[in-house]
């Protein structure tokens, strides 16, 4: 059955950049979310790459209700279930399988599936997904690839992630088939290590100011 992914949560309407967050210390989760929200960034993708990730999602969702907290690096049904149980309201995957798409649909968890090839796009389209994450964007072709896909996949829009910086993000956002970008530059490791929340708020404000050319 065809579905409209993210039908209950249209991520790009909240801003041009989705931060890709890696949490190592649970105690950083709430102040980090607060700093991003203060800077106008409400959609937060917390990657399931560390033991602190799921507790961080739970803490953010509970303590910062203005934040729209999702889980990244969702690899299968078990990850999706754990993310949903922790309070995530959307999922992001680095690749796509029908099993993952079906699992998220069954959980009522909106999914932004990752793709890197035309075949993966076609598989996602077969399952009703037309808003996709290009990952790792820079490594697999970036802007030239997205331009090449615009004609054969005119019904598809993208959130490119992977290697994008504040300097290159405007070039991606200028493409007609790009609705938003994902970036880790909003939460740089040095700022997290120093708990420099003011710096993260500043980066969030700058990200919200990015617009398509």
How far, in whole angstroms, is CA 60 from its chain's centroid? 16
The total of other beta-carbon atoms located within 10 Å of residue 83's CB is 28
**Active-site residue identified among 38, 45, 138, 147:** 45
Of the candidates 177, 179, 178, 173, the residue with the CA atom closest to the CA atom of residue 211: 173
Contact between 95 and 116 (Cβ < 8 Å): yes
Contact between 186 and 204 (Cβ < 8 Å): yes
User: Is 147 annotated as catalytic?
Assistant: no
User: Is 45 annotated as catalytic?
Assistant: yes
Contact between 182 and 172 (Cβ < 8 Å): no
71 backbone dihedrals φ, ψ, rounded to 5°: -110, 130
**Active-site residue identified among 27, 66, 120, 133:** 133
The encoded tokens of residue 87 equal: 């309070």
Of the candidates 107, 121, 103, 114, the residue with the CA atom closest to the CA atom of residue 136: 114
- Active-site residues, by number, are 45, 133
């Amino acid at each position: 059955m065809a579905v409209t992914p993210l039908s209950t949560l249209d991520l790009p309407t909240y801003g041009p950049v989705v931060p890709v967050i890696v949490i190592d210390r649970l105690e950083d989760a709430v102040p980090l979310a607060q700093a991003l929200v203060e800077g106008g960034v409400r959609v937060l993708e917390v990657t399931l790459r560390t033991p602190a990730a799921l507790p961080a999602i739970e803490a953010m969702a509970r303590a910062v209700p203005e934040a729209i907290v999702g889980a990244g690096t969702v690899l299968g049904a078990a990850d999706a279930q754990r993310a949903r149980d922790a309070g995530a309201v959307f999922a992001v995957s680095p690749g796509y399988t029908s099993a993952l798409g079906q699992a998220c649909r069954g959980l009522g968890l909106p999914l932004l599936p990752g793709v890197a090839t035309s075949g993966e796009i076609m598989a996602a389209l077969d399952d009703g997904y037309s808003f996709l994450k290009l990952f790792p964007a820079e490594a697999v072709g970036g802007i030239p690839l997205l331009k090449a896909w615009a004609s054969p996949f005119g019904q598809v829009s993208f959130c490119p992630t992977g290697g994008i910086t504040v300097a290159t993000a405007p070039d991606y956002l200028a493409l007609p088939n790009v609705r938003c970008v994902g970036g880790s530059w909003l939460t740089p490791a040095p700022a997290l290590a120093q708990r420099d929340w003011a710096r993260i708020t500043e980066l969030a404000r700058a990200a919200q100011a990015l617009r398509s050319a």
